[in-house]
Amino acid sequence: MNITPQILHNTLLKKFGNLNWWPMDKSYHKRNDSDPRFEVIIGAVLTQNTAWSNVEKALENLKSKNMLNISKISKLNMKNLQNLIKPSGFFNQKAERLKNLAAYLKNNYNGDLDNFFDREINTIREELLSLNGIGPETADSIILYAGNLPIFVVDAYTKRICERLPMDTNISYDEIQSYFQREITDNYKKEELTKIYNELHAMIVILAKTYCKKNPECSQCPLKNYCSFQK
């Protein structure tokens, strides 16, 4: 039986429920009168080439110094920023990317994320992709999870699952994204899209970490009846 993005979403939702991704510390931002969306933006950069558990350590370091703030990151000494985000790995590159991104938001949008996100998705995406160190996955994570705008995020886990099932798409980033968005748009209302993309990406990550690993555990996988790889 062929599997579509809609069947994939419904099957995984039944298994995992709503995962409420992306995690953020709302109590911290309430205490400090800061924008939780910037924590998501920082996390999207820090999670490049590392596990989320390492990102959490870096975020805790930043919170301990009350640094989850566009203006403060843009002004922070580079060496100090590198030390704070060290647990996330590649901290020299990531510190430079965070500083550049924070400075860009401050200089071009006065640090106001409402102004930054209150535009067409493609415009936001092209602008993010023009910044050093921001690739498609990072840009789309920022748009979906910080901007709360409907775009499907593709990562290595998505590519793995599309290839193994298989799904009716090639495995390049743009082709997978176009395929999912076309199929989801045809089957859900416009106002539902952001929620569906959010849930689906989060559930694919959990699926890949729990069952569809490099060495998969197929017997308990909720997709085993669809999967060609297992057969």
Indicate whether 28 belongs to any domain: no
Residues 131 and 206 in one domain: no
Given 111, 130, 146, the domain boundary residue is 146
CA atoms of 23 and 35, how far apart (whole Å): 14
Indicate whether 227 belongs to any domain: no
Q: Cis peptide before 222, with omega less than 30 degrees from 0? A: no
pLDDT in tens, 172-221: 999 999 999 999 999 999 999 999 999 999 999 999 999 999 999 999 99
pLDDT computed for residue 18 by the predictor: 87
Residues 68 and 88 in one domain: yes
CA atoms of 109 and 101, how far apart (whole Å): 11
Residues 54 and 89 in one domain: yes
pLDDT in tens, 107-146: 999 999 999 999 999 999 999 999 999 999 999 999 999 9
Indicate whether 129 belongs to any domain: yes
Indicate whether 108 belongs to any domain: yes
Give the range of the structural domain holding residue 216, as residue numbers without chain letter. 5-20+152-220
Q: Is the CB of residue 111 less than 8 Å from the CB of residue 105?
A: yes
Q: How many domains does the chain have?
A: 2
Given 81, 113, 146, the domain boundary residue is 146
11 burial class (0-12, 13-18, 19+ CB within 10 angstroms)? middle
Indicate whether 225 belongs to any domain: no
Residues 96 and 71 in one domain: yes
CA atoms of 185 and 189, how far apart (whole Å): 7
Residues 38 and 128 in one domain: yes
CA atoms of 36 and 30, how far apart (whole Å): 9
**CATH number for the domain that contains residue 48:** 1.10.340.30
